[in-house]
Amino acid sequence: MKRCGKCGEVKSFSEFNKCSATQSGLHAWCRECQSEYRKQYYANDPEKWRRATNEWRTEHPHYRREYERKYPERCREQYRRYGRLQRQRYPQKAKARWAIARDVQHGKIIKPSSCQRCGEPYEAAKLHGHHEDYSRLYDVIWLCDSCHKRLHFIAQESTKNIENIAQ
């Protein structure tokens, strides 16, 4: 049994996180108090923590891949949940994607054999359909992965610049 340094309650050792820096090998605060503290701390500046988390994730992509290999069911459900949320938020985008995917599958639309931006030949399965305007369902540019990412990166940067000018 151990007394929590924050709430003062005496709790079993299983109620405390491990901490190699302490003599007992357990954190001074119980898990419940640590959780409350973290919630308040993150709530004070959520943007700071989003940035820090995103930076860490981009610097350590192997941890995400390892997690996905270890817990494929959890990840599958997370991706499904995210997909449902995106479809609810952006119904026009979802409609445009479904229309193109359906028509490609039924053979009504034939993907080209090369990227329409750089001209490099690719398998049709590896080309992405890019919509400049989701209200025009069938107005699609077929791009390779690198051109598609580059196009979205440029669009994001120009949006950030416009937001900075507006401020």
Mean pLDDT of 46-50: 90
Phi, psi of 3, deg, nearest 5? -90, 130
Nearest alpha-carbon partner for 134 in 79, 92, 84, 87: 92
Between CA 96 and CA 130 the distance in angstroms is 10
111-151: pLDDT as tens digits: 888 999 998 888 877 898 999 898 888 899 999 988 998 88
Q: Does the global pTM surpass 0.75?
A: no
